[in-house]
Amino acid sequence: MLFFFSMLFSFILFSFSIYSSPVYFSILLFCSSVFVVLFLTIYLSSWYSYLLFLVYVGGLLVLFMYLCLMSSNEMLKKVFPNVFLVVLVVLLMNFLNISDINPNFLGYSNYESSYFLEMSVLLSLMVILLFTLFIIVLEMSVLLSLMVILLFTLFIIVRLVNLKKSLIV
């Protein structure tokens, strides 16, 4: 379930680089805030996520009013369908990569096989994230895009290293 929500969240992040209308941005920001609140509800208190959701919605209302006033006559652009095809292929490739792992991974115990499964999930999410960031890079300057990619790569590497303190078995 977490893998499915991570895929949807990465697809929403990918969609930020496609759309250029304030209406689309507001919808995508609302969807991303719902996913963040959903993750916080699962891992933290539901009251904290409820308050955070109310703050997000209030900020989105102000942002939506400002953007609609600034670009009231802008026409909505059509989205090219090849981008969705590429995203669908990447999502399916990562899903197939995860589903090929059996519970008794290479004869290891259940703890070690769950560790390898979690590592595989994180590596596939890293591929999706880097692909998404590469698409977003096309919209930004080179220096800023490299900073963002390196920052996300640092977060992913720190997460992978914290899974198991020592890689030597």
User: What mean pLDDT is reported for the chain?
Assistant: 63
Which of left, alpha, beta for 89 (phi over 0: left; psi -120 to 50: alpha)?
A: alpha
Per-residue confidence (pLDDT) for residue 47, from 0 to 100: 74
pLDDT digits (tens, 9 = 90+) for 117-152: 555 666 666 666 666 656 555 555 656 666 666 677
* Beta carbons within 10 angstroms of residue 124's beta carbon: 21
For residue 111, pLDDT over 50 is answered with no
Q: Which residues of 12-51 are buried (b: 16+ CB within 10 A; e: fewer)?
A: bbbbbbbeeebebbbbbbbebbebebeebbeeeeeeebee
Condensed to tens digits (0 to 9), the pLDDT of residues 17-36 reads 666 666 666 676 777 777 77
Is the pLDDT at 94 greater than 70? The verdict is no
Tell me, what's the pLDDT at 102?
A: 47
* CA dist., res. 76 & res. 78, Å (int): 7
pLDDT tens digit sequence for 25-76: 667 677 777 777 777 777 676 777 777 777 877 777 777 777 667 666 666 5
